[in-house]
Structure 1
Amino acid sequence: MKLEIQPIGNAYSEQAIDLILTIQQKEFNIPITIQDQPDLLQIESFYQEAGGNFWGAFIDGELVGSIALVKFEERAGAVRKMFVKKEFRGREFNIAQILLEILISFCRENNIHDIYLGTINVLKAAQRFYERNEFSKIEKETLPAKFPLMSADDIFYHIKIN
């Protein structure tokens, strides 16, 4: 079993949609559809051309995880689409941790100092993961004006990196 992580573009939209919607809808019963997330159909223009990126984690050629960065200000970005397929979660595989570290390295290389993210109250493991990684919980009102809000998100985090 070999883990490979690489930036992905529109050619992977279908696999990314399948991975993410399955987790959102079937596993966590979050009432969100592809219509609510058109960015997944335009990965390159929404993420990469704007100065962010979208990474996929593959095991033996299968997309099992994702993370993306939306650059929304000169020095600020938002973490989006952080998902790992159920069977590949946990410390044994460490996929979420590796994905987050790749995103943070990308931010350092590109002078993005503030990283924000929104998540959903039911995603308790995700909240613990961000807190373990030194993200601080913040109030929605303190988010930057240009932060790309997702309607389902109700919990927000921030980390400052150098």
Structure 2
Amino acid sequence: MKNDTNTELTITPIFNDHCQQILGLILPIQQIEFNVPITLDDQPDLLNIENHYHQTGGGFWGAKVNDELVGTIALIATEDNAGTIRKMFVKKEYRGKEMGTAQLLLNTLINHSREAGITDLYLGTVDMLKAAHRFYERNGFERKLSEEMPSCFRRNGGENVYYHLQLGAATN
């Protein structure tokens, strides 16, 4: 996809060799931009994404412009043909409908999920991220109460807003 700066945005799976880039993107968004009281110690998955994401049958994808990581999204595949979405972050300069970064990341995760036989996606976020709520709702996610989330949903500290998306069967 071309954006307004005439650079190519690509979405590809990323692995442990990208951990430092991932930390450089996610931690400042969490801690500085949104003042979420979370540290690297609270997120050990970021130091071994292959084990926490890829090996479950899920994945971890990065949006890159040139060689710069500008966005991430991750999936933990769980039992009952379900998956938990994690680590959806996009650098401020690459957010919004015009850029389409978040939409491309989510589409990639949904396509992978369908191909893997995942029929239900769940996620948790925080109440202050109103734009994220609108984004998920525009994409068909339904808001759920905490107690409505299934036991297979992998909870993360600090979450207080929950969503579910039921996927249709894969189309070939």
Write the letter of the residue equivalent to 1:67: I
Alpha-carbon distance in 2 for matches of 1:115, 1:10: 24
Long gaps (5+) in structure 2 = 1-6
- 1:73 corresponds, among 79, 93, 99, to 79
Alpha-carbon distance in 2 for matches of 1:57, 1:102: 10
- 1:36-60 alpha-carbon deviations (Å, 9 max, x no partner): 1100000001100111000000001
Alpha-carbon distance in 2 for matches of 1:107, 1:115: 8
Question: Who is 2:21 aligned against?
Answer: 15
Is the 2:19–2:47 Cα contact (8 Å) retained in structure 1?
Answer: yes
Q: CA RMSD in A?
A: 0.7
- 1:100 corresponds, among 80, 101, 106, to 106
- Any residues of structure 2 matched to 1:55-134 within 5 Å, and which? 55-134=61-140
- Give, in angstroms, the shift of residue 148 of structure 1: 1.0
- Give, in angstroms, the shift of residue 74 of structure 1: 3.9
- 2:145 corresponds, among 139, 149, 158, to 139
Report the secondary structure of 1:116's partner residue: strand
- Give, in angstroms, the shift of residue 142 of structure 1: 1.2
Report the secondary structure of 1:49's partner residue: helix
Question: Who is 2:35 aligned against?
Answer: 29
TM-score normalised to the size of structure 1? 0.98
- Give, in angstroms, the shift of residue 106 of structure 1: 0.4
Alpha-carbon distance in 1 for matches of 2:80, 2:147: 20
Long gaps (5+) in structure 1 = none
Write the letter of the residue equivalent to 1:87: E
% identical equivalent positions? 52
- Give, in angstroms, the shift of residue 92 of structure 1: 1.6
Tell me the number of residue pairs that the alignment of Structure 1 and Structure 2 aligns.
Answer: 162
Report the secondary structure of 2:53's partner residue: helix
Is the 2:82–2:152 Cα contact (8 Å) retained in structure 1?
Answer: no
Write the letter of the residue equivalent to 1:64: V
Report the secondary structure of 1:144's partner residue: coil
- Give, in angstroms, the shift of residue 151 of structure 1: 1.0
Alpha-carbon distance in 2 for matches of 1:129, 1:64: 18
TM-score normalised to the size of structure 2? 0.93
Alpha-carbon distance in 1 for matches of 2:24, 2:39: 11
